[in-house]
Structure 1
Amino acid sequence: MRIDRLVLTDFRNYGRLVLAPENRLVVLTGENGAGKTNLLEALSLLAPGRGLRAASNAQIQRDDGGPWGVMARLSQGADQPVELATGADPANPSRRIFRLDGDLIRHQGRIAPYFSAIWLTPQMDRLFSEAASGRRRFLDRLVLALDPNHARESAAQERALTQRNRLLATQPDQTIWLDGLEDSIARHAVALTASRMALVDAMNRGPARDDTSFPVARLRLVCDISENLVDQPAVAVEDRLRHALRAARREDAMRGITSFGAHKADLLLEDAVTGRPASCSSSGQQKAMLVHVVLNHALLTSGKAGRAPLVLLDEPLNHLDAARRDALLACLRERDMSVFMTGTDREAFHILRDDADFREITLGRM
């Protein structure tokens, strides 16, 4: 999958940008604040989900501009090119819409068979020292590249969770309504967990060492639902979750939360050779593990789905020593995947001088 043409309109600090990459590897350089990460964010918004910053339309919209928009033409091997577009709805600027080959689509899941993206950003350097929610989002992006229905299941569960919490706070005596919401939560939670388990299992099947020069990372899903699914049928696990939710209504109403479900899962990483968890590793070791996960996932997706996700690397060389910096760039050069990466120093990417499209960005211009 290649980006043949990218157009940004009134997106953050870009009034209008047209980019036609000349290589599957694109290196964006420039000073801090020039707009490098903004361009990666625009690409991430073409995939299902809220993008690498999870920003609102108001945050994305360029000052004094019209509705923001991002359009990309993708080539998929011998298949006909596909055009994807997303942006603010002119009739309702707070609403985001998607178009596929010019046609308005209702569900983001329809995009997944054509385009997916995975990214690393400097903010993710804190992934293993902060809340589990960030690690869940990271895991779910990995799952989505292989399971287009995952976005719909996740959205349905979020709606049911929000409605249950609101109902417990305002009308806790509506037992029939609560029964229906908890049934929905249980069904979607088990489906989400099964997809997460399948991805983790597929990612962990490789050897403890490979040729990427990065420490092989093993993923571990920490979740009561996944533990039950190991030796129980899905319907039994759903029933178990329904009973737990019903029993927790009084306490959940007091706390304003839902105590059980797939939204309580966590993702852990461990070094496959030493068994050292990422949470006990240095910043450089954590970054190296995450890099391996991204590379491993791109190769896995390419083999299973027939196309690798677009890889977005924001300041990827931070926290890596010189040997691993060179190893990462050499690995990207040798693999058949499309990658956009950023950095302030062009010379740091010198290994790719003959193998990448270098673009200098200055205050929203290229």
Structure 2
Amino acid sequence: MIETSSAELVRRGHEVFIFAPGYGASDDGRIPPVGGRPAERGSTRPAGDEPRASEPFIYRFPSLAAPNYPSFRIPIPVRPGLSRFVAGLGLDVIHSHTPFVLGRVARSLARRLRVPLVFTHHTLYHEYVHYALFARRVARWWVWHHVARYCRDADLVIAPSEAVARQVREGYGVRTPVEVIPSGVDLRLFEASERDRGWLRRTFGLPPPSRLLVNVGRLTLEKNPGLLLSAFARLAAEEADAYLVLVGEGPERPTLERRAFELGLAKRVVFTGRQPPERVADALLASDLFVITSYTETQGLVVAEALAAGLPVVLVDSPPLMETVRDGVEGLVVPGEAQALAAACRRLLNDPELRRRMSSAARERARELSLPVAVDHLLAAYELVVTLRTS
């Protein structure tokens, strides 16, 4: 999301500087020279040249793998010269996407430079305390109060859904202005002429007549993939040509693979691993239904991507998700029970006319959630916060 919105901002002529964790040994955390504009890391373009108009500048901090979730990186942002370097950029707004390590740095720099701080509340962090190594009740309390304070310290909070906006206003009791801006989908990814619809079946040996249910996301406890697998087991018992495709990676994968084997579904549940955006689009376009069982989404960008691919969606009754998908229009909303999920999937698989209507509605809905629309709202929010700060 940060990548696509930043690219769209740059395309419109704005300068964007991204500070993020590194994922390799080459991200050594050296601060580029101050003066002029910085060189992109890994680029042969010398410092002092103007950034290329087609790309944002990306600076990556050295980082460590989280002990119980190695693919999640913890940045180490303690670097001499960082404040002086950022001060030389002439920023109008500092936009933080986390309230934790780099978010604290963003808050400190915003205060020091007297620049408005915008915070996008992407995640219900208190729902993720099962990753804490100890004292989870204390961790939940601390996370709740830390995020609430961070929202208060921001000049503007962006919520990806009305449900998250209510959490900020009523749950945290925050009086900071809140704007609801759903993350935008790059519809160009789903243009049929650019995609390889045969990639999924070809790569993972799926027979041509089979019908495919797909889910995209991290394979983690909070995404509730166990419920999805249980629902598919019920469906698979009656629909012999149904397959479940899980696009993504995460610590729950070994457990899910073992469970699929125990259910006799090892050949009908496909784990693709993590895939680049282009392959995610290929997988969505090759599928018949999108199914999501997570109750911790703040918007569900993957759901918007499924709509862009023209997929009807079967989803649990999670308020943020229900803002994106209307029951009976773009998909079916059901209680978080395996039997209800299986029944909804069965209904859609066996009703081509209903699928066709929902597919058409899905594409219409995706246009409302497109990247240009989201960036229009984002720029308006930036203008608002700058006006509020200077008035």
TM-score category, normalised to shorter length:
under 0.3
Give the structure, 1 or 2, with the largest relative contact order (CA under 8 Å, sep 6 or more).
Answer: 1
User: Between Structure 1 and Structure 2, which shows a larger proportion of strand residues?
Assistant: 1
Output the TM-score relative to the length of structure 1: 0.28
